[in-house]
Structure 1
Amino acid sequence: MSQPEAVRRRTRPFALLGSELALVFRRRRTWAMLAALALVPVLIAIAVRLTTDRDSGGPAFLGDITNNGLFVSFTALTVSIPLFLPLVVGVVSGDTVAGEASHGTIRYLLVAPTGRLRFILVKYAGAVAFCLAATLLIVLVGAAVGALLFPIGPVTLLSGTQVDGWSYAGRAVLLALYVTLSMLGLSAIGLFASSLTTVPVGAMAATVVLAGVSQVLDQLPQLDWLHPFLFSHLWLGFGDLLRDPVSFDSFGANALLQLGYVAVFGALAYGRFATKDVLS
């Protein structure tokens, strides 16, 4: 099958999105990054199991894990948000447009025809799907390894109320959705960076660096006026989901912040891609 014909098949109704998801999740690089993320809860659980005595003192979160293995998921998400998730999200989103350009397939997709707006939307949808898969993987692996190495029982929330394992499982899903939502702005930035170059590594590096810069700026008290506008400002603001009753205030505030970045950088990505001459 020729390359133009193969690309043409990808542009049938709803086929382009399915093809994009297959492209993202069939790559060995994607599976390697997901495996690395899955190691985070595994290593945390093993380290706590080997080094922490249940009857001794220690940091609160370690005590929570040893008393209830369900806390492995929460701890793994908290550890992954500042570094590991932005790193892998930067790699995937930075490859969206630049990856196709480097392989010389964009012009075939547009001739098919696909349409430049549809192309951008599908590429962004693939990055969002990866964000969701990555966060759910951390939660599921954390719950599994926690149940294997530690006892499972009622979970004490931040408000002091105890809930059963199933109720906490629902909150864990909300945590995963919150973290996925937190990565939407960064994914849009990566999409825009990817539209500026034909070198995927450059877009990936720029996206990851910007994630680090945003978090550094968020720690500077002299820039407290800027903090509410940084896309990373509410990454760790999911405490309301671990209270009884559940409050969605932080969820809503984070959604508005991230959607603002999606709107701005999504428009910039489309504007850049719609006006450029596609030669690759």
Structure 2
Amino acid sequence: MSSADPKVKHGAGLSLLASELRILFGRRRTWAMLAAVALIPILLAVALRLTSAGVEPGQGPPFLDRVTQNGLFVSFTAMVVAIPLFLPLTVGVVAGDTLAGEASHGTLRYLLVAPAGRLRLLIVKFAGAIAFCIAATLTLVVAGTIIGALLFPVGPVTLLSGDVISVPESAVRALLVAAYVSLSLLGLSAIGLFISSLTSVPVGAMAATVVVSVVSQILGALPQLEWLHPWLFTDTWLGFSGLLSQPMDGTAFGANAVLQGGYAAVFFALAYSRFTTKDILS
């Protein structure tokens, strides 16, 4: 059977993906970052539990005033707190290391010996970054739910629309919010992949990816640049309020998917263009 056989290439691609995920989630750095993400809802819940004074409505991040009445709001509050900086920081580390890390260790040329080729290797690296985004947001939800249940009462959840839903349904809403946030990080992952293809210095690629995220959020906070806001990949990051209303509104989810998909397509194409013309084997 020829090495050009599609079944061989497909098998090589799956093997490469499995190896990438095994390496990514086998690193102490990855688990340290996930542990740091888990600490966000834990610290938030412990701080509220130890504070005698209650939180007035409108004070602090959204949902913060509801945490002491219902521990299920810990994960929602932690998500809002983590989106602007903590999640982009961890995603920037993973995405920035995708290609630059392999190049710095001299292993990139050996990976290209596999029949998967450069395109499939690029897809596998991007898929690994996406897998981490999902793992990070699920870590927030699970840690927030567990610590919230341990420290505060748990019961039916009052949504932003004023409607009350059961605990199982609130768990579904929390998973949908996690899916929304994971999707929100898709564009940043693609940007990090592209930046990683430009250099063999992983620390530089990681830092540049995080800086791009910060710059985008700063531009999004300037009212003078309101015309630019809909084009920023960070513009829809906190737009999941429709998922916490009754009936559920998925309009923002669709808009977020279009925006992040556009960024992913553009920067993946740029990364592919750079990666396929880059002299790696010399």
Normalised by the length of structure 1, the TM-score is 0.93
2-structure distance, mates of 1:126, 1:183: 13
Aligned 1:142-181 pairs, distance under 5 A = 142-181=144-183
2:41 alignment counterpart: 41
1:29 is paired with a residue of what secondary structure? helix
Report the Cα offset of residue 52 of structure 1: 4.0
Is the contact made by 1:52 and 1:62 (CA closer than 8 Å) also made in structure 2?
Answer: no
Over the aligned positions, Cα root-mean-square deviation in angstroms equals 1.3
CA distance in 2, matches of 1:64, 1:112: 53
Match of 1:277 in 2: 279
Number of the residue aligned with 1:198? 200
Per-residue CA shift, 1:175-212, capped at 9, x if unaligned?
Answer: 00000000000000000000000000010000000000
Number of equivalent positions:
269
Deviation at 1:114, TM superposition (A): 2.4
Which digits, 9 at most, give the CA deviation of each residue in 1:55-84, with x for residues without a partner?
x74637333000000000000000000000
* C-alpha spacing 1:187/1:52, structure 2 compared with 1 (3 Å): farther
Please tell me the residue identity of whatever aligns with 1:144. I
Among 107, 117, 120, the residue aligned to 1:118 = 120
The secondary structure found in structure 2 opposite 1:131 is helix
Q: Structure 1: which 5+ residue stretches go unaligned?
A: 1-10
Residue 25 of structure 1 corresponds to: 25
Q: Return the TM-score normalized by structure 2.
A: 0.93
The alpha carbon displacement at 1:264 in A equals 0.3
The secondary structure found in structure 2 opposite 1:111 is: coil
Runs of 4+ that moved beyond 4 A? none
Matched residue SS, 1:66: coil
Per the alignment, residue 8 of structure 1 pairs with none
Q: Distance in 2 between matches of 1:267 and 1:63?
A: 44
Within-5 A mapping of 1:194-273: 194-273=196-275
Structure 2 unaligned segments of length 5 or more: list them: 1-10
Equivalent pairs: percent with the same residue? 65
**1:4 aligned partner:** none
1:182 and 2:160 aligned: no
- Match for 1:51: what amino acid? T
Distance across 1 between alignment mates of 2:146 and 2:118:
42
Contact 2:186 2:260 in 1 (8 A): yes
For the residues of structure 2 that align with 1:147 and 1:110, how far apart are their CA atoms? 48
- For the residues of structure 2 that align with 1:37 and 1:13, how far apart are their CA atoms? 30
Q: Give the conservation status (yes or no) of the 8 Å contact 1:154–1:164.
A: yes
Distance in structure 2 (CA, Å) of the matches to 1:146 and 1:52: 17
Aligned-pair CA distance for 1:113:
2.5
